[in-house]
A and B are shown apart, each in its own frame.
Chain A
Amino acid sequence: MQSRVPDTPVLEVSGLSVDYLLDRGSVRAVDDVSFTVSRGEFLGIVGESGCGKSTLLFAVAQLLAPPAVIAAGSVTFDGTNLVGLTDSQLSAIRWRDMSVVMQSAMNALNPVKTIGAQFKDALQAHGKPSKEEITVRSAEVLRMVGIDPVHLRSYPHQLSGGMRQRSMIAMAMLFTPDLVIMDEPTSALDVVAQRSLMVQIKELQQTFGFAVIFVTHDMSLISHFSDRLMVMYAGQVDELGATKMIFDRPMHPYTQGLLEAFPSIRGPRVPLRGIPGNPPDLSSVPAGCRFHPRCPHALDRCTQVAPSLFPVDGDLVRCLRRQDGSLS
């Protein structure tokens, strides 16, 4: 294992762009995205479907398959740039240092193998553990997520949705990785199971100190769990900052729209509008600010000038109205 310098970020993504090479030309799904994840940090990434958040995760984990290719930028994980590494070089890192929990455990787990057999596969991919070591470690991680180890002999279909998703997380914990990437792991669950899973992820994170990148379209879900929040729109970062700051004072109109889109069970019943319109087709993004056709505050110059990320009070915001650091 590599020497770990505590102060360096576990992950540093800089200028990352991903293109889908299609017959009718290439489409840029992730456009010049840069961010870092510190050790033990919980970074939330939010945005609507089609904003590039899953493509970004796949690019970070080096799981992109053609026609998607990394067009520019680097992904530095524990001091190594992952872009351009061969599969054999990557497989030393994958799952041991960085693991991925996908959206639907129903599709991620192999339906014809028991949970225990799948854990064994993952363990044997890195080293030659003895039978006993495998049993002990598998039982240990299942207990960590609150599942009785008897379920090592169960097949995925014998478990409830919540248990399947928890056993996926247990599998991601097999090697105590530095970074766990989660792509909407709770979206197939109902509220009670969702809440208990979120608390469990947070507890595990506090115990073992791994960093988490958590992708979701539901901002309310991660409000209590993430340290920093990155809001994506049409392949770009729209706002990046401390979660509390963004919830207390969202600066990008898109973030404001997302925050106002969900009803509450408390307070007065107020009519909500959501965000009118749909996210743009990435093959023909609007000129100027990509959000301007849906923006309630759009100015004339928003239709021509593409805003860059402006620093405002330690946060980053891609909005021309924040160009001078204040609202203009």
Chain B
Amino acid sequence: MTELLRVEHLTRHFKIGGALSQRTLHAVDDVSFGINEREIVALAGESGSGKSTIARMLARIYRPTSGEIYFEGKPLSRFRSRRDQLRYSGLAPMVFQDPFGSINPVFRVQHGMLRSLKLHRPELSAAQRLTEAARVFDVVGLNPDMLQRFPYELSGGQRQRVGFAQALAMRPKLILADEPVSMLDVSIRIGLLNLMAKLRDEEGVSVLYITHDIASARYVADRLIVMYAGQIAETGPIEDVLAHPRHPYTQLLLSAVPDPRAPLSVAAETDRGEPPKVIDPAPGCRFRWRCPLAIDTCAQVTPELAELRPAHDAACHVAQTSAEEVKAFS
């Protein structure tokens, strides 16, 4: 498998407070990962964990504070000409969370489709653009007649399919999907998750699927990245991470997933903590205040990702120590 996208030590800080304030919010801190061709990678975590900031840096909405993004081996910071930038935004388009806010309500659905086709694929004639729009509508499971409709005539699920059709029209290699199903009804979500899997299997598109819903991530994704407070807590093949979660935060996240098939009592221990706002952080694990396993080291040294199982990394001192003990013992 060839690597499509590589992110190295990606960091994004925001200045907060007044003009003279020296405080910075560390939204994303030293994050590295890759996305292969024909792969769906799920990026999971609570609100405020930095998932959307990563997506926005990948979409070039934010510029990284430091670190580099490589697309097909080339660093994004070198894409300076308008042609290169257009080409990249066509290869890695974004699908937004809110299907009600992401389509212009005063134009027919085809308006946005045809405009982006004109911009990104200028070689097409007007008639070809219409044919292409009809083709991608068909791929995402919409009737091409819908191109003539106004957004208010479409349901939430249909609008989100329009979002994927717009992305697909640009012949992308990677779709950045920021919580694409979280605003849809449960009964309609599955259809869109199936669509993402179909785009991977039939169109060869990779997807960065940003979500806080681990169950839906498991349904479509090949790999999982769990974010906590701007850093990667755990990453690996999704089945392995879910079956053998090593980071206590991943364990907390999994225990919070509602599952009617699992027995549960209301008295069960629940976490009341809140994810921290990472303002001018001192070294140490950012999860330690909520962590049931925290030891002294956690307050002094920031844990780094280490491979604990094949291709499965976690950034946790306790998990790493116990893994070493197991190794020494055997």
Contacts and interface: CB of A to CB of B under 8 A. Distances in A.
Report whether chain A binds chain B.
yes
Interface of A: 48-49, 146, 160-163, 189-196, 199, 202-203, 206, 217-221, 223-225, 247, 257-259, 261-267, 269, 271-276, 278
A223 B258 contact: yes
Given A49-B155, A191-B214, A199-B268, 18 more contacts: A160-B47, A191-B257, A193-B47, A196-B270, A199-B266, A218-B258, A219-B260, A223-B258, A224-B260, A225-B266, A261-B186, A261-B187, A262-B189, A263-B216, A265-B215, A265-B254, A266-B262, A267-B261
Contacts, number: 124
B66 to A, nearest CB: 28
Contact of B274 (A162, A217, A258): A162
B301 interface: no
Interface in B176-202: 185-191, 193-194
B186 A191 contact: no
B259 A266 contact: yes
Nearest to B47: A190
A272 B258 contact: no
A273 B259 contact: no
Given A196-B272, A219-B260, A262 B215 contact: yes
Chain A interface SS verdict (over half): loop
Closest 6 CB pairs of A and B: A223-B260, A274-B190, A263-B219, A195-B256, A190-B212, A220-B258
B213 interface: yes
Size band of the interface chain B makes with A:
35 or more
Nearest to A192: B256
Interface string B248-276: 00001111111111101010101110100
Contacts of A162: 274
A278 B155 contact: yes
Contact of A217 (B186, B214, B270): B186
18 contacts: A48-B187, A162-B274, A191-B46, A195-B255, A196-B256, A196-B272, A219-B260, A224-B258, A224-B260, A247-B260, A258-B186, A259-B260, A265-B215, A265-B218, A266-B261, A272-B190, A274-B189, A276-B191
